[in-house]
Structure 1
Amino acid sequence: MATDKHFVDYVIEQAGLGSRLGCKKLFGEFALYLDGKVVAFACDNSLFIKPSRAVDTLAPQLPKGPPYPGAKDYPIADELLDDPEALRRLILETAALMPPPKAKKPPKGKARKPASEE
Structure 2
Amino acid sequence: MASDPSIVAFIVEQIAAAGEVAARPMFGEYGVYCDGRMVALVCDDRLFLKPTPGGRAFAGSDGAAIEEASSYPGAKPCLVIDADRWDDADWMAEIVRISAAELPLPKPRRAKSPKG
TM-score clears 0.5:
yes
Q: Distance in 1 between matches of 2:18 and 2:59?
A: 23
Aligned-residue sequence identity (percent) comes to 32
Pair 1:62-2:69 in alignment: no
Q: Which runs of 5+ in 2 are unaligned?
A: none
Larger Rg: 1
User: Relative contact order, CA 8 A, sep 6+: which one is greater?
Assistant: 2
Instruction: Give the deviation of 1:107 after TM superposition.
Output: 1.4
Say if 1:110 and 1:95 are closer, same or farther in 2 by CA, change over 3 A.
Answer: farther
* CA root-mean-square deviation: 1.8
Q: Match of 2:52?
A: 52
Report SS of the residue matched to 2:3. coil
User: Under a length normalisation based on structure 2, what TM-score does the superposition of the two structures give?
Assistant: 0.86
Instruction: Give the deviation of 1:19 after TM superposition.
Output: 7.5
The letter of the residue matching 1:97 is: E
Q: Match of 2:98?
A: 93
Say if 1:27 and 1:109 are closer, same or farther in 2 by CA, change over 3 A.
Answer: same
The letter of the residue matching 1:80 is: R
User: Under a length normalisation based on structure 1, what TM-score does the superposition of the two structures give?
Assistant: 0.85
Pair 1:71-2:75 in alignment: yes
Q: Distance in 1 between matches of 2:70 and 2:19?
A: 28
Q: Which runs of 5+ in 1 are unaligned?
A: 112-118
Which protein has the bigger strand share? 2
Pair 1:107-2:112 in alignment: yes
Q: Which runs of 4+ in 1 moved over 2 A?
A: 16-19, 108-111
1:7-22 equivalences in 2 (<5 Å):
7-17=7-17, 20-22=20-22
Q: Distance in 2 between matches of 1:92 and 1:67?
A: 21
Q: Distance in 2 between matches of 1:94 and 1:59?
A: 11
Instruction: Give the deviation of 1:62 after TM superposition.
Output: 1.6
Report SS of the residue matched to 2:38. strand
